Chains A and B, each alone.
Chain A
Amino acid sequence: MSSSVLKEADRVMTICNACRYCEGFCAVFPAMELRRTFTAADLKYFANLCHNCRGCYYACQYAPPHEFDLNVPKALGELRLETYAMFSWPSALKGMFRNNGWVVGLVAALSVAAVMLLTLLFKGHAAFFGAHTGAGAFYRVVPYAAILLPFTALGVFILVSLWKGVANLWRETGGQPLELRDLKAHRQAVWDVLRLRYLEGGGDGCNYPDERFSMVRRYFHHAVFYGFMLCLASTTIAFFYDHFLGWIAPYPFWSWPVVLGTAGGLALIAGSGGMLYLKKHMDRAPASVESFGMDIAFTALLFLTSLTGMAVLLFRETAAMGTLLTIHLGFVLGLFVSMPYGKFLHAVYRYAALVRHALEQGKGNREASKGNG
């Protein structure tokens, strides 16, 4: 057990394992109960399995000011952040997890500035500030190839990076490569993700933003998650239209890319805006302060990306389109560039942890419990 963060997670889980009162809240406790002592690998796995619902903080008779000073969400949250730096690829860039909020903010700002400057440089004032309509209007501001090529390259890089990260997590937490082929476990994990089961806190939601039980964070997350998926679908369809059918954007309002994009964008705005609002009002006691910056930067970036996307749609007939489009593309670029080094990792790492959990629970209990009373 090297770092103080790992030691704290070990101390906390050891106390929980003697208590187990929280076993009904989430997946972490049943996973914990399969073990008697914890290796660093176990703890890293728990950290990514934890959904930070905070139920086990408010329910804990050992929470501060008790001398045991037990704070599971905080301890696991701090370790979770460490695992992001540990597992992410290429590891040379893991410094990006220090002050991740500022780093991601800077990446986003630079991306916006870069897109705007390059556009101005290569396309000139007229293209940038003029009004464009009709087929290919967007591409008169930013050429098709200038969008497609960098984003394809980036997409490939992101996929490789995320995959490497997951593979690292899987290996470091003791998983066998072949186990990843277990479809039943994937089905369970996908279902857990789609309904965000472990933000249900055993039925009434999680304790966020404060001590009361609430589904609001879960609903906002659904808006973000499904909104994001809709936007991805919209982009994919648009790509297909353009590349294979030769239909050039912008598309009319009643077309698949615009309808899906609008629904997704609005959901994203509502969801990420709501999450930022909750974050501002949350009780900080159970929170891992170190990951604030990362959480806020990612959420804000989603918010700004979707907001500017909607603005492009709204003002695409006007002279503001060029400016808005470049800003939007800048944010999209920033979002994707920072993807493998920020909060987005929570999606893939949590997913991997959920798969491992499904596998493990499926296998049955290594240690039968000796009861409590």
Chain B
Amino acid sequence: MKPEDRSAPNLSRVYDVLVVGGGNAALCAAMTAREAGASVLLLESSPREFRGGNSRHTRNLRYFHDSGNWHLTGPYLEDEFWNDLLLVTKGQTNEDLARFAIRESKNIGMWMEQHGCRFQPAMRGTLHLARTNAFFLGGGKALMNAYYATAERLGVEILYEATAEDLEIREGLFTSAAFDHRGVRRTARARAVVLASGGYQANLEWLKQSWGPPAENFIIRGTPYDKGRMLRVMLDQGAQPVGDPRQGHAVAIDARAPKFDGGIVTRLDCVPFGIVVNRDARRFYDEGEEFWPKRYAIWGRLVAQQPDQIATCLIDSKSIDLFMPSVFPPIEAGSIRDMAARLKLDPAALDDTVQAFNAATRPGSFDPAALDGCATEGIEPAKSHWARPLDTPPFYAYPLRPGITFTYLSLTVNRRTQVIMQGGTPAENIFAAGEIMSGNILGQGYMAGFGMTIGTVFGRIAGKESVRYVVERLKRS
């Protein structure tokens, strides 16, 4: 018996609220429902050590606030927030729900702190987002630890290694969930259910349906437990989907990263300072198109479209100190041909590519902090900024692969977070929060810290609304 199993839940009873998932959205829902007086059972698919889904990999969230405080340097108001969202989603958002989410996020940091979250003052690594985003002291896992401790203290019953597999839905009403607990199939009954089980980005089979065989070579940046089982079950039961199934948030990360759970440290920020070549040692996209944070998220797809879904970013010693250090050391070589040998690329082809690129660069004043004038001339694809010849050994290389952060396909919900079925009727006692419904708001693109906002805001609403439903139903009977 593991220590966390000492208080095994009583599965013969009917719980008020069943929460499926164990990340940010799930915990916010569970704590809120429990505080409203409901009995709550939470099923987390992972073992205790890996609890918290993708939320354990996060670092910050953004919320609407009228004025700065000790961890935010200034105000961030609804309209600015909305405009930022409009910009990244290019309009692929449900304005009503999105504005609602933004308004509901107002001063949410206070609620978080009351539930154990600890923020940190703006520090070196966080300054560029210090006004809009609040940073968790110790990161997302620290936040999850705090929430789990609070949930336990409140009396939420938690079962680890419990993966929901099916939902029993009779005449539109949820009655029970079948789940696997360390190989044993069991049933949990409840008056309402909150689905907060994340996206399906860890489900390679599903990814292959929309991305084809290349998905086999994707790296999953976060938890291996977000397989989208609940999303699948609900879609099969006739829930109305939202969000493009062919899209996912994918970035180019270090190809040496572990298949799952590599998290933030596998990111690479070197692309704007070098060139990126594919398996055939050819360049394929403008590496200096924009500031990196604005282009970060297109490179996953770009690499995914290359043969074998592999690419290499090549820089020289002039640039090695210009970006955040990353987890794996760069591959180093004294000449381009040596580098090609080391990377198992065709030496002549790589040499050609580098020479052609070097010849296309023009003198200019290089400035990593601005969209500088260092652009190439007469080469396809061009490099619009920060284009300096690769001529100062040692040369460094980082192998790149697509790393998928999350998927967009989601369950449609209303403001109460009730899941909307085909035809537009809401499922009365089935609620959804977090990544599993984020496609309503984030139909495209990504905005740093907004995933956690969606989970916190709609997790709380789902907690509240599920209890409201239970109370009303008990009154009726």
Point out residues on A near B: beta carbons under 8 Å: 14-15, 17-25, 30, 33, 36-37, 55-56, 58-68, 202-204, 211-212, 365, 367-373
Q: Name the contact of B118 in the complex, choosing from A14, A22, A204 (C-beta under 8 A).
A: A204
Q: Is A67's CB under 8 angstroms from B124's CB?
A: no
Q: Which residues between 320 and 339 of chain B lie within 8 Å of chain A, taking CB atoms?
A: 321-327, 329
Which chain B positions have C-beta within 8 A of A14? 325, 327, 329
Can you list 13 A-B pairs with a CB-CB distance of less than 8 A?
A14-B327, A18-B264, A18-B265, A19-B265, A21-B139, A21-B142, A25-B137, A59-B141, A63-B49, A211-B145, A367-B321, A372-B324, A373-B129
By the criterion CB–CB under 8 Å, are B149 and A30 in contact? no
Q: Is the CB of B293 within 8 A of A373?
A: yes
Interface size range of chain B in the complex? 35 or more
B123 CB–A CB distance under 8 Å:
yes
CB B206 to nearest CB in A, in angstroms, measures: 24
Which residues from A are CB-within-8-Å of B261?
61, 66-67
Q: Is the CB of B123 within 8 A of A61?
A: no
- Assess whether B75 is interfacial by the CB under 8 Å rule: no
Tell me if B228 counts as interface (CB < 8 A to partner A): no
Contact yes or no, B142 A58, CB < 8 A: yes
Contact A369 B127 (CB under 8 A): yes
- Inter-subunit contact A21/B59 (CB<8 Å): yes
Tell me which of A30, A64, A369 has the highest count of chain B C-beta atoms within 10 A of its own C-beta.
A369
Interchain residue pairs A-B with the least CB separation, the first 4: A21-B139, A59-B138, A24-B120, A59-B142
A120–B60 Cα distance when bound, in Å, is 69
Closest chain B residue, CB of each to CB of A36: B325
A22 close to B127 (CB less than 8 A): no
Docked CA distance A197–B320 (Å): 35
B258 within 8 Å of A (CB atoms): yes
A30 to B121, CA, bound (A): 13
* A contact face: mostly helix, strand, loop, or mixed: loop
Q: Is the CB of B327 within 8 A of A15?
A: yes
A sample of 4 more A-B contacts (CB under 8 A), given A21-B138, A59-B141, A369-B125, is A18-B266, A55-B142, A203-B118, A368-B124
CB distance from A182 to the nearest CB of B (A): 22
CB distance from A129 to the nearest CB of B (A): 53
Smallest CB–CB gap between A366 and chain B, Å?
10
**Interface-centre pick from A25, A62, A372 (highest chain B CB count, 10 A):** A372
Contact indicator A202/B125 (Cβ below 8 Å): no
Q: Which residues of A contact B129 (CB under 8 A)?
A: 371, 373
Kindly state whether residue B57 has any CB partner on chain A within 8 Å: yes
Interface centre among A33, A61, A66 (most CB of B within 10 A): A61
Instruction: Say yes or no for B248: interface residue by CB 8 A criterion.
Output: no
Contact B123 A24 (CB under 8 A): yes
Q: Across the interface, do B125 and A371 meet the contact criterion of CB distance under 8 Å? A: yes
State how many angstroms separate the Cβ of B114 from the closest Cβ of chain A: 14
Residues of B contacting A65 in the complex (Cβ-Cβ under 8 angstroms) = 49-50
Chain A residue at minimal CB-CB distance from B223: A61
Contact between B138 and A56, CB atoms less than 8 A apart:
yes
Q: Which residue of B lies closest to A203 (CB)?
A: B118
**A24-B121, A58-B145, A203-B118 known; A18-B327 Cβ under 8 A:** yes
Q: Show the binding face of B for A, using Cβ within 8 Å.
A: 49-50, 56-57, 59-60, 118, 120-121, 123-129, 135-142, 145, 149, 258, 261, 263-267, 269, 293, 321-327, 329, 448-449
- A67 and B49 CA atoms in complex are apart in Å by 12
User: Bound complex: CA of A22 vs CA of B264, how far in Å?
Assistant: 13
Pair count A-B, CB < 8 A:
118
User: Would you give the shortest CB distance from A286 to chain B, in whole angstroms?
Assistant: 14
Task: Judge whether A365 and B124 touch: CB under 8 Å.
Answer: yes
Whether A370 pairs with B324 at a CB distance below 8 angstroms is: yes
Residues of B within 8 A of A365 (CB): 124
**A369 pairs with B124, CB closer than 8 A:** yes
Shortest CB–CB separation between residue B304 and chain A, in angstroms? Answer: 21
B124 touching A24, Cβ below 8 Å: no
Give the shortest distance, in Å, between A198 (CB) and chain B (any CB): 14
Q: Which chain A positions have C-beta within 8 A of B266?
A: 18
Q: What is the minimal beta-carbon distance from B421 to any residue of chain A, in angstroms?
A: 36
Residues in B neighbouring A66, C-beta threshold 8 A: 49-50, 261
What CA separation (Å) do A116 and B261 show in the bound complex?
62
A143 shortest CB reach to chain B, Å: 57
Which residues in B have their C-beta under 8 angstroms from that of A22? 138-139
Given A25-B137, A62-B263, decide whether A372 and B125 contact each other with a Cβ distance below 8 A: yes
A371 touching B145, Cβ below 8 Å: no
Interface centre among B140, B293, B325, B327 (most CB of A within 10 A): B325
Partner of B124 from A30, A212, A373 at Cβ < 8 Å: A30
* A18-B141 CB under 8 A given contacts A23-B123, A24-B123: no
A373 vs B120: C-alpha distance when bound (angstroms): 15
Q: How far is the CA of A25 from the CA of B118 in the complex (A)?
A: 11
* Residues on the B chain within 8 Å of A68, using CB: 258
List residues of chain B with CB within 8 A of the CB of A56: 138
Chain A positions within 8 Å of B448 at CB level:
373
CA distance A54 to B449 in the complex (A): 26
Chain B residues with CB under 8 A of A36: 321, 325
| Cβ contact within 8 Å between A18 and B59 | no
Chain B residue at smallest Cβ distance from A56: B138
Could you tell me if A372 and B327 are in contact, using CB atoms closer than 8 angstroms?
no
Contact of A60 among B120, B128, B141, B293 (CB under 8 A): B141
| Cα separation A21 to B323 with both chains bound (whole Å) | 17
Residues of B within 8 Å of A24, CB to CB, are 120-121, 123, 135, 137-138
Report the minimal beta-carbon distance from A38 to chain B, rounded to whole angstroms.
10
List the B residue with the shortest CB-CB distance to A370.
Answer: B324
Distance, CA A66 to CA B47, complexed state (A): 12
B145 touching A202, Cβ below 8 Å: no
